[in-house]
Amino acid sequence: MAIKIPEVDTSKGLEQCDGDMDTYISTLRLYSTNIPKALDKMRNVSEETLQNYTISVHGVKSTSEVIGAEEARKTARELEMMGKAGNLAGILARNDAFIKYVEGVLDGIRGWLEKNAK
């Protein structure tokens, strides 16, 4: 079964799961369930929430890498580094677009799962 999901290098993700399709599909399901919670924690970031933001964006980075969502991983890494450096202005400049982008990735994953992984 070929997996085609926009913005996701599924061959890379499948490789991360040792080529096991069932494991990869389970990982996609976990991503589609858990990442929205992380994104919610990343909204309305402020000085007071910066540390928690950095933890949440780290989780998005790691799980995006596992599924093969390379652009999401790269941007999350940049945001994580900004969080660690205390660069709130940099985060505020990019955060909304990043959340919207990841939501698009999630839509693609959910759409594929609905059609192909009953």
Q: Residue 5 domain-assigned? A: no
| Residue 87 included in any domain | yes
Q: Give pLDDT, residue 118.
A: 66
110 assigned to some structural domain: yes
Residue 96 inside a domain? The answer is: yes
Q: Which CATH number characterizes residue 76's domain?
A: 1.20.120
**DSSP, residue by residue, 36-79:** HHHHHHHTT--TTTHHHHHHHHHHHHHHHHHHT-HHHHHHHHHH
| 2, part of any domain | no
Q: How many domains does the chain have?
A: 1
The reply to whether 4 falls in a domain is no
Containing domain of residue 15, as a range?
10-116
Q: What is the pLDDT of residue 24?
A: 95
- Per-residue 3-state assignment (H helix, E strand, C coil) for 80-103: HHHHHHCCHHHHHHHHHHHHHHHH
Q: Within the chain, which residues score under 50 in pLDDT?
A: none
